[in-house]
Amino acid sequence: MAKVYSSAVIPASASAVWTIVRDFNALPKWTPFVAESRIEQNKPSDQIGCIRNFRLKDGGRIRELLLALSDYEMSFEYSILESPMGVENYIATFRLIPITDIDHTFAEWTAEFDAVPEKEDGLVQSIGRNVFAAGLSALKARFAR
């Protein structure tokens, strides 16, 4: 079981950041690596069990299943159904936490997955840096004042 963890401080209130990221179909809006995305079967993007089907800018296609969404906790969880990355049992959690004294937001993105041992370290590095850290840093830049 491999684990990836990445977190950052977003210079905006948690409710403002949550409005953007809670939309499971919004990856093209706020990440630098997703070209286009749709929700399969035309379901609402906050229906548990909906599937987002998106294409990366490098051409790879990924299908992910929404497992949990909480406006109360400002978090959501999803698993990967199909991807070119070679991961199994991949479950990821995205969470926002208000930093109350400065009205900013702590954002954390974590994942656990299985992979063939010789590829595990490389995947942890590339998901951590190219997906999670890159996504969080784009979110940060979006709100930079």
Partner 1 sequence: MVDIRRSTLIDAPVEELWAILRDFNGHVRWHPAVETSLIERGEASDQIGAVRNFRLKDGSRIREQLLFLSDAKRSFGYCILEAPAPLRNYVASVRLRSVTSENACLWEWRASFDPPPSQRERLVRFVRDDIIEAGFGAMRGFLRGERGASIGVRSAPTPAGPVDGVDGVEIVLTRYGGPEVLQARRARIREPGTGEARIRQTAVGVNFIDVYCRRGSFDLVAPGGVLGMEAAGVVESVGRNTPDFRPGDRVGYACTPPGAYASMRTMRADLLVRLPELLSDASAAALLLKGMTAGFLLHDVAQVRRGSLVFVHAAAGGVGQILCHWAKTLGAVVIGATSSEAKADLARSVGCDAVIIYGREDFAAAVMRFTSGRGVDIVYDAVGKDTFEQSVECLAPCGHLVSFGQASGDVGTQSIDRLASRSVTLSRPNYVHYTDTTTKIGIQSDRIFEALRTGAILAPRPTIFGLADASAAHAELESRRTTGSLVLIP
User: Which residues contact partner 1 by CB under 8 A?
Assistant: 5-9, 97-102, 104, 106, 108, 133, 136-137, 140
Nearer to partner 1 by Cβ, of 104 and 142: the residue is 104
- The candidate with the shortest Cα–Cα distance to 139, out of 38, 7, 46, 51, is 7
Nearer to partner 1 by Cβ, of 45 and 110: the residue is 110
**Smallest distance, Å, CB 29 to partner 1?**
21
**Smallest distance, Å, CB 3 to partner 1?**
11
81: Cβ–Cβ under 8 A, 6 or more apart, which residues?
Answer: 51, 63, 64, 65
The type of residue at 84 is P
CB 122 within 8 A of CB 16: no
**Smallest distance, Å, CB 41 to partner 1?**
36
